Chain A
């Protein structure tokens, strides 16, 4: 047995820009996006012997149709990784991407692998409906009131959180505006440039005389943020999920397409390939909460992850809190007293978009990029709420 406890290091991370649903990636397949980031993250470590990659773990929240059939294996083969590299698709809804990072790190930490890739991919454009290609609910859900929450739409859960945690419409809109402003500023100052691997979209359209014309368009920036957002325009939007509610399209995360990938190594592999690691994987925790208020998941998950890492909350310098909804983000921040300055400094999902199972990997790349930019950052966290009532939090330490 060669099993041993050892640390796992993130040595490279990248992502695609994030497209709006039916936006610049409307014709881009999620397996192609995945192949793109897998190739890119491997390319970031020039001397790497790809045959040594122990596994490719890919998060995807709706692993069906274009992103079904074990998209991890298909994506890695399309990326040109060696046949001997295996792949697995995992699903914990919105945390799938960071779950993949944790699972990959754990393989290393257990000594079962030296090199791992964690990734996430999701195209919400290819999904005909938000709950996947075929929606089919269990009749038992409606037989007992305790189970009703399983059937609650995400927006409805946000309304319940807003109600219970008394998050006003005005606060939600202000939060949404802030998210947009931060994101627009971040793009303008090129803060995402390091983490994004631009994607060349090739669109096949009818040309002259039965020929097919291919239109190429290089996508370099996230599509979601709105420079023209204002409190007035946000205030004008109608609540979508409740007749007298406060959650609108403007203060909810955007539906999006995107992919991200992270390359992890053991200390031995780091030395062997002579790479400089960016961060050490510290800890990861998940926790369950009532499904009808799923948005508060991080309130349970964050303390667990801090405890597992032996850290105090004040030590966190950079927090990527997925903005599923402004309502739940504010409820989480207020309950845990998170420092707003450290939460989503470059904007969050309300502006940048939320390609479900890819978000965790994408935001891990954002944290890694921040750590590379700013040597003062010590600890970073990626956290989110999860549909049907869970929370996840993963913590990284700059090395």
Chain B
């Protein structure tokens, strides 16, 4: 681990990026000073205050919980520069104007400690040129630190060194960014737009070029270039609207200005239609109109042929869709290329030209092909990077096809592919990834921080990861260990689809706990995201169809047993939560002795959406929590704590971060929250070991839980009555929510009655099975299975 200590960060520039970077530091318990110009009138920090207020409105939220905003202190260059002396890391994120940045550097340099790090979040300017603007003494601790928008959610940070950057400092910064902020680092060269934007913006240009060539509609192209080819749903043009068309034009302008020698330079220009949109103030989402715009409920798209907007909704042609479904990439690319369909020709063309561009520039812009691929995954949300896509489709075949197209004048330019392309069978191998600059394979970084990532994200073609030793498995789970880390801590991984919890998973959990108690010192529940999406509804539906309600009741009982087994196991059980932990998945997490959660965990008891209530012990846990919390409250009233969890359950609220999960009662303040999900297993194994060594003993079940009882249920009903009368919820919503209230309040017993945990489990189970028998719940389950969305009936 790094010895770099960053107690306080300053972010210079409270624009969209600066404010969000500040927010993410605050998420990570790093104090932040957010600077901008002093306001011309009114409060001196008005500009920053406005930016901070804006943070609350952004979606997805930059702050992992609202209270984090308090860790960001507003400041201005007029009166607060002295405060920079307290800062260990200063991130400059002002507008992309070289002279503005240099002016600012001159102004702040006298206040920067010699041991502080100063880094620019520029997305395109030369880091070396910026470095010249710093006093020589500060240059060794100057570098580029390029975040992607939105910085909390986009994994990528490009680190760019200058000729004078201190190598050890950069290693320490990479370590800190990786583990503390949870970012995925690519070391980029100081070339215009660095790696991800260089390729990503070229890809947009290629798409725009071929859109025009093939005369396709923008919506048609978006249908083609989204999830169909492993890219985000917003695809190309919708993404441009979200980013802002003015920003896109600016970036294109930068490429035109800074890359005069790029052979593709002739294409680095703004198409006339795009310029016209920007000139007319149609900048995309921020002006509520760009390439797309909403008209009532209809989404309209600009149609260049008609010079007007028309209803959007173009689709992928069935014959092209069939090609895209082919799981064999070699066949898929061959078919795309062979097809006469303009959509297929278009897809082949955009891949071909990006392959061409990447191969041509690999030597100048990236250390190796892995960096390039990962940059595209992490910075642009591509499922696969371009080089690995190429390799998966058959390196030589694609290379020949690209060459043939270049030779035939079909590619955007006629520059030949570099010679190395034809000397290799791919760029990723077990020994590393190809560096065109060094003509050698480059292994992964040897920085110690990566030792914490037992399963880092890999590109296709890398050596398969260490699988560990399987101790036991069934159709739903695998119990295994990593002897190299700790052979006596078992790892329980759910292996079902989406990690849904069915009968075999329940059997697996019970068996794994028994084995852990017998043979091991601790148990970690870990699998790649999602943690678990809840009960296996397909199994439930089958049993309902067969009228096997006795079986269903027994399954719910087994679910409860599994939860209780986790909670009362004689060894510590650590749940390593990342991604969605919903319904039954949430209940497993709640019952573990401890949770190690990735910041990006989405946790909730969402049973109400399918007309059910938490009955794997989730309602019971909230009742127990209320009991425990009330013991410290004057009067000992449990209801205030029930009221909150009632709303959580009745409205199927989902925590949108691990921090929120703890606040909502799905986790505990003592849980571990990790910003880098790849470190989860490592941390969980060590946590389980530490708990075992610290003499872990499981809690005993509480036989005297004070419950809210009948008055509590009635008081929850007050809210339901008003919502139902106001037309906000359906009659059946009311019924489901009342069942939830009844379970949370420990059944229809007297208020403040003392009941056992087992009784509350009985109550939640009985209510659950009762709801299952209702037609409306069955309709909700069927609808969820069919559409993935809740039905309101």
Q: Does A134 count as interface, using CB distance less than 8 angstroms? A: yes
Contact in complex: A243, B721 (CB < 8 Å):
no
Contact in complex: A153, B722 (CB < 8 Å):
yes
Q: Does A139 count as interface, using CB distance less than 8 angstroms? A: yes
Q: Does B718 count as interface, using CB distance less than 8 angstroms? A: yes
Task: Report A-chain residues with C-beta under 8 Å of the C-beta of B748.
Answer: 139
Contact in complex: B637, A156 (CB < 8 Å):
no
Interchain CA distance A153-B728 in the complex, whole Å: 14
Given A142-B717, A151-B717, A151-B718, is A136 in contact with B725 using a C-beta cutoff of 8 Å? no
A residues 226-240 in Cβ contact with B at 8 Å: none
Task: Report B-chain residues with C-beta under 8 Å of the C-beta of A148.
Answer: 721, 725
Contact in complex: B714, A138 (CB < 8 Å):
yes
Could you mark each residue 710-733 of chain B with 1 if its beta carbon is under 8 Å from any beta carbon of chain A, else 0? 111111011001100111100000
Task: Report A-chain residues with C-beta under 8 Å of the C-beta of B640.
Answer: 134
CB distance from B737 to the nearest CB of A (A): 13
Known: A136-B715, A138-B714. 4 other contacts (CB 8 A): A134-B640, A139-B710, A152-B725, A156-B726
> Among B711, B712, B726, B751, which residue has its beta carbon within 8 angstroms of that of A242?
B726
Contact in complex: A241, B639 (CB < 8 Å):
no
Task: Report A-chain residues with C-beta under 8 Å of the C-beta of B718.
Answer: 135, 137, 151
Task: Report A-chain residues with C-beta under 8 Å of the C-beta of B639.
Answer: 134-136
Contact in complex: A137, B728 (CB < 8 Å):
no
Q: Does A141 count as interface, using CB distance less than 8 angstroms? A: yes
Q: Does A159 count as interface, using CB distance less than 8 angstroms? A: yes
> Among A142, A159, A241, which residue has its beta carbon within 8 angstroms of that of B721?
A142
Q: Interface range on chain B: under 10, 10 to 19, 20 to 34, or 35 or more?
A: 10 to 19
Task: Report A-chain residues with C-beta under 8 Å of the C-beta of B721.
Answer: 142, 148, 151-152
Top 3 A-B pairs, shortest CB-CB distance: A242-B726, A243-B727, A139-B714
CB-defined A-B contacts under 8 Å, sample of 13: A134-B637, A136-B639, A137-B711, A137-B718, A138-B711, A138-B714, A139-B714, A139-B748, A142-B714, A142-B717, A242-B726, A242-B727, A244-B727
Contact in complex: A159, B714 (CB < 8 Å):
no
Task: Report A-chain residues with C-beta under 8 Å of the C-beta of B637.
Answer: 134
Contact in complex: B725, A156 (CB < 8 Å):
yes
Contact in complex: A135, B727 (CB < 8 Å):
no
Could you mark each residue 157-174 of chain A with 1 if its beta carbon is under 8 Å from any beta carbon of chain B, else 0? 001000000000000000
> Among B714, B722, B728, B751, which residue has its beta carbon within 8 angstroms of that of A141?
B714
Q: Does A345 count as interface, using CB distance less than 8 angstroms? A: no
Task: Report A-chain residues with C-beta under 8 Å of the C-beta of B725.
Answer: 148, 152, 156, 242
Contact in complex: A156, B727 (CB < 8 Å):
no
Q: Does A309 count as interface, using CB distance less than 8 angstroms? A: no
Interchain CA distance A242-B721 in the complex, whole Å: 12
Interchain CA distance A137-B639 in the complex, whole Å: 12
Could you mark each residue 692-725 of chain B with 1 if its beta carbon is under 8 Å from any beta carbon of chain A, else 0? 0000000000000000001111110110011001
CB distance from B110 to the nearest CB of A (A): 29
Q: Interface range on chain A: under 10, 10 to 19, 20 to 34, or 35 or more?
A: 10 to 19
Task: Report A-chain residues with C-beta under 8 Å of the C-beta of B751.
Answer: 136
Interchain CA distance A137-B718 in the complex, whole Å: 7
Contact in complex: A241, B711 (CB < 8 Å):
no
Interchain CA distance A3-B318 in the complex, whole Å: 98
CB distance from A145 to the nearest CB of B (A): 11
Contact in complex: A241, B714 (CB < 8 Å):
no
Q: Does A303 count as interface, using CB distance less than 8 angstroms? A: no
Task: Report B-chain residues with C-beta under 8 Å of the C-beta of A153.
Answer: 722
Interchain CA distance A29-B150 in the complex, whole Å: 45
Q: Does A245 count as interface, using CB distance less than 8 angstroms? A: yes
Query: Quick one: closest A residue to B711, CB to CB?
Result: A136
Residue among B637, B712, B721, B727 having the largest count of chain A Cβ atoms under 10 Å:
B721
Contact in complex: A241, B726 (CB < 8 Å):
yes
Contact in complex: A243, B726 (CB < 8 Å):
yes
Interchain CA distance A243-B723 in the complex, whole Å: 9
Task: Report A-chain residues with C-beta under 8 Å of the C-beta of B726.
Answer: 156, 159, 241-243, 245
Task: Report A-chain residues with C-beta under 8 Å of the C-beta of B722.
Answer: 151-153, 156, 241
B residues 660-719 in Cβ contact with A at 8 Å: 710-715, 717-718
Query: Quick one: closest B residue to A157, CB to CB?
Result: B725
A residues 218-272 in Cβ contact with B at 8 Å: 241-245
Contact in complex: A243, B711 (CB < 8 Å):
no
Task: Report B-chain residues with C-beta under 8 Å of the C-beta of A141.
Answer: 714
Task: Report A-chain residues with C-beta under 8 Å of the C-beta of B713.
Answer: 139
B residues 609-645 in Cβ contact with A at 8 Å: 637, 639-640
Interchain CA distance A137-B717 in the complex, whole Å: 9
Contact in complex: B728, A243 (CB < 8 Å):
yes
CB distance from A52 to the nearest CB of B (A): 41
CB distance from B168 to the nearest CB of A (A): 42
Query: Quick one: closest A residue to B727, CB to CB?
Result: A243
Interchain CA distance A243-B728 in the complex, whole Å: 6
Interchain CA distance A150-B728 in the complex, whole Å: 19
Interchain CA distance A330-B713 in the complex, whole Å: 36
Residue among B637, B715, B748 having the largest count of chain A Cβ atoms under 10 Å:
B715
Could you mark each residue 14-33 of chain B with 1 if its beta carbon is under 8 Å from any beta carbon of chain A, else 0? 00000000000000000000
Interchain CA distance A152-B718 in the complex, whole Å: 8
Query: Quick one: closest A residue to B722, CB to CB?
Result: A153
Interchain CA distance A134-B637 in the complex, whole Å: 9
Could you mark each residue 472-508 of chain B with 1 if its beta carbon is under 8 Å from any beta carbon of chain A, else 0? 0000000000000000000000000000000000000
Contact in complex: A135, B715 (CB < 8 Å):
yes
Interchain CA distance A185-B408 in the complex, whole Å: 82
Task: Report B-chain residues with C-beta under 8 Å of the C-beta of A142.
Answer: 714, 717, 721
